[in-house]
Amino acid sequence: MVKKPTIKLSLLAAFVLLSLNAFPQKRFIPIDGTNIWINTIGLENRKEGQPVVVFESGYGTPMDQWDRLLEGASGLAPLITYDRPGIGESAPDQELPTIKNVADKLLEVLNHLQIKPPYVLVGHSLGGMYVRGFARYYPQVLAGLVIIDPADFTETRQNKRDYYKPLGWDEARIDKTVLEIEAGLTNRNKEAPQSIREEGEVLADLRKTEFKEITEHALPNIPVHIITGGRFDAPEASRTKENEAVFRSKMRIRVGRWMDVVQSVDKGMLLYSGDAGHFVHYDDPELVVSSIRLVLQDYELLRQKKEK
């Protein structure tokens, strides 16, 4: 009779400890003398060889943007979110946020935390381009990619013109529109902090080369998903029928190119949410969680196949 309460208390204590390990653990870590703000969930419970899911945020966007899906994803694998240098809570450093530098910095974060591969990288917008670039330099450590409405690393200058042709525009109007958009992208966020401006400058330089740093290197044969939202989310002043027609044309053409990307690997998938805008992980977090689940399952199938 005396031992029963003791057993119950021991089980309760064990449950509490396991639960605490699943809570977010936000903190700074020093990387090359720069304080980087990170959040880890469930690392203490990682199984041998289990992939860790790492989130790469969009242009100038802090890691808190992922909060709506972390609870759902935490039951699938250990998770890491972080702020790139100069973004959110992380201090700036002296390096340009090139594809290679961002990949190297992320590896330093993971090495500091003593987290061995494999990794599933989940990137949104500019972060989607960054995780695709990571696969160019460090394919051997990856278990999969989830790329959410990316800064379009498949886009060429001709593609930018193609978006307007279904609308019946003449060549002069297309030329003028493309030039105006390029000028707007170059000049945006001029009053923003330096680290954010630098991310925009890096993206602009990659567009000028049609993303050759990425596109000239094939994806590793790992599960790769591209997720996009189909909701027209323009500001009220820009919500004209013509602008929506341009948006729909862009979506049709981009989806075709993204299909080519996911079809280049054995376990590729293109996911579309008509209810979501650019921030798919905010508007439809369940879709992104489902994508991560499928990537993890397919990675395990590929791993088992290799071992046979």
Cβ atoms of residues 92 and 33 within 8 Å: no
Instruction: Tell which CATH architecture fits domain 24-307.
Output: 3-Layer(aba) Sandwich (3.40)
- Highest mean pLDDT: which of 82-91, 174-183, 298-307? 82-91
pTM: 0.91
Q: pLDDT, tens digit, for every residue of 191-242?
A: 899 999 999 999 999 999 999 999 999 999 999 999 999 999 989 989 999 9
- Domain spans of the chain, in order of start: 24-307
Q: pLDDT, tens digit, for every residue of 50-78?
A: 999 999 999 999 999 999 999 999 999 99
What pLDDT was estimated at residue 200?
94
Cβ atoms of residues 98 and 179 within 8 Å: no
Say whether pLDDT at 308 is over 90: no
